[in-house]
């Protein structure tokens, strides 16, 4: 078992470019943009990981979080199919691989594999031209009625922006209506890379950085918490990622509404980007470690096992990550883009992965409250 308290940092034992950063981490001083650039470019990724591990264990000791969740993608039909060149999930109406679920289909998917044992439904989809906000509100109310124990983490900022545009409503009005229908929190997707030099290449015409940030700012001010992400491993340069991380950190300083940051590794298959390489394991670890060191105000860093494999996610727990996401059950976005991982892990499998990495597995709800005993077990016992 990993000790809860990490050994002390001795900056003089770190390679030169990381010595100043090691001193700052030892003393609890915030890293700046120049330090972030060093983290994103140093060849000394193992040393970086050692620093991130220290911060992670200061925050979370030897605990590693996971949840029992299920992904649901009601539709992949998307008006931005040709805009988001990295996306392998989206389809135009009528295309062979397009799907649209009915409300009953959504409830059926929600009930599969555990139904009431699931504490979170993660619901995202394409920007469907014909599905109204009312259709989604009814879906949310239907889920809440049928699965009262499950938190509804649903709709990226891009979807919220689309609902506002389609219905000619303000962002706040859309969020209020969704919250009243059962929305619990927002997932972190759609952030990609904020910098316009990259955004114009990979997702021209989609919500820009200021708009993505505004959706999350409004949500946070209404008490709706959210996650945030960064898509790396394509055409971006380190300076674009420095800018991205600083913008997320600034918003968190302002609102405190982010629960977790998830670095997302670009997957190259079945999309229009024209790139053929997957990220490497070391690069994935570098992004997790950098995130832990730089985003000092975001409590959790997620190593999303679907994306980087359960094997690398185990290692990531020693590079700053404290959360593995969940059981997932059915995953489309990464599997349509070439992910070779399985679609689901059971609770015992997640616990085993965490234990064998030397940590204590803690099942959590979406807000990171530990679930011991689980609500279903408590109900049976009482």
What residues line the site for ligand V47 (CB under 6 A)? Answer: 86-88, 156, 187-190, 192, 227, 229, 231, 262, 264, 266-267, 271, 304, 325, 333, 337
* Of 191, 193, 202, nearest in space to 226 by CA: 191
**Chain residue whose CB lies nearest ligand V47:** 189
d(CA 208, CA 202): 12
Q: Rounded to the nearest whole angstrom, what is the least distance from the CB of residue 190 to ligand V47 in the complex?
A: 5
Q: Respond yes or no on whether the N-terminal peptide bond of residue 148 is cis (omega within 30° of 0).
A: no
Measured CA to CA, the distance from residue 323 to residue 260 in angstroms comes to 9
Question: How near is the Cβ of 134 to ligand V47 at its closest, in Å?
Answer: 24
SS (H, E, C) 8-38: CCCHHHCCHHHHHHHHHHHHCCCCCHHHHHH
Smallest distance from ligand V47 to CB 300, Å: 10
Q: Quote the tokens at residue 301.
A: 């860093």
Considering beta carbons, is residue 231 or 357 the nearer one to ligand V47? Answer: 231
Q: Give the phi and the psi of residue 18 in degrees, each rounded to 5.
A: -100, 0
Distance in Å, CB of 221 to ligand V47, minimum: 19
Gap between the Cα atoms of 306 and 303, Å rounded: 9
Looking at the Cβ atoms of 119 and 227, the one nearer to ligand V47 is 227
- Residue 15 beta carbon to ligand V47: minimum distance, rounded to whole angstroms: 31
Nearer to ligand V47, 42 or 156 (CB): 156
Q: What is the distance between the alpha carbons of residues 134 and 131, in angstroms, rounded to a whole number?
A: 8
Least Cβ distance, residue 154 to ligand V47 (angstroms): 10
Query: Which of 139, 231 has the CB closer to ligand V47?
Result: 231
Q: How far is the CB of 26 from ligand V47 (least distance, A)?
A: 31
Long-range contacts of range 170-173, CB-CB < 8 Å, 24 or more positions apart?
171/214, 171/215, 171/218, 172/218, 172/222
The smaller minimum CB distance to ligand V47, of residues 24 and 244, is found at 244
Q: Which is nearer to ligand V47, 54 or 290 (CB)?
A: 290
For residues 45 and 306, which CB has a smaller minimum distance to ligand V47 in the complex?
306
For residue 6, give both structure tokens. Answer: 């990490």
Partnered with residue 262 across adjacent β-strands are 229
């Amino acid at each position: 078992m990993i000790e809860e308290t990490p050994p002390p940092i001795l900056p003089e034992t770190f390679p030169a470019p990381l010595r100043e950063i090691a001193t700052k981490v030892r003393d609890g001083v915030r890293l700046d943009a120049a330090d972030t650039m060093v983290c994103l470019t140093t060849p000394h990724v193992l040393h970086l990981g050692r620093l991130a591990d220290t911060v992670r264990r200061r925050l979370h000791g030897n605990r590693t979080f996971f949840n029992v969740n299920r992904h649901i993608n009601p539709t992949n039909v998307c008006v931005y199919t040709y805009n988001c060149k990295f996306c392998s999930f989206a389809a135009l109406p009528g295309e062979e691989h397009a799907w649209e679920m009915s409300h009953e289909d959504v409830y059926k998917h929600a009930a599969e594999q555990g139904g009431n044992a699931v504490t979170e439904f993660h619901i995202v989809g394409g920007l469907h031209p014909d599905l109204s906000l009312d259709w989604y509100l009814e879906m949310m109310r239907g889920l809440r009625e049928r699965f009262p124990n499950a938190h509804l983490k649903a709709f990226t900022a891009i979807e919220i922006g689309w609902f506002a545009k389609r219905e000619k409503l303000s962002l706040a009005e859309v969020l209020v209506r969704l919250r009243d229908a059962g929305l619990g929190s927002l997932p972190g997707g759609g952030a990609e890379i904020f910098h316009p030099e990259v955004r114009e290449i990979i997702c021209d015409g989609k919500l820009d950085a200021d708009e993505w940030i505004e959706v999350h700012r409004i949500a946070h001010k209404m008490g709706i918490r959210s996650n945030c992400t960064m898509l790396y491993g394509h055409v971006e340069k380190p300076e674009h990622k420095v800018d991205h991380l600083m913008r997320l950190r600034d918003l968190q300083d302002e609102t405190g509404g982010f629960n977790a940051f998830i670095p997302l590794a670009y997957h190259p298959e079945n999309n229009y980007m024209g790139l053929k390489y997957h990220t490497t394991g070391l690069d994935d670890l570098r992004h997790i470690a950098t995130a832990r060191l730089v985003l000092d105000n975001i409590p959790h860093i997620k190593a999303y096992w679907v994306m980087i494999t359960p094997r690398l996610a185990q290692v990531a727990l020693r590079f700053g990550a404290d959360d593995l996401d969940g059981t997932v059950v059915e995953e489309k976005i990464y599997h349509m883009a070439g992910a070779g991982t399985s679609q689901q892990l059971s609770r015992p499998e997640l616990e085993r992965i965490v234990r064998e990495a030397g940590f204590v597995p803690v099942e959590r709800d979406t807000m990171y409250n530990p679930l011991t005993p689980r609500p279903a077990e408590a109900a049976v016992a009482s």
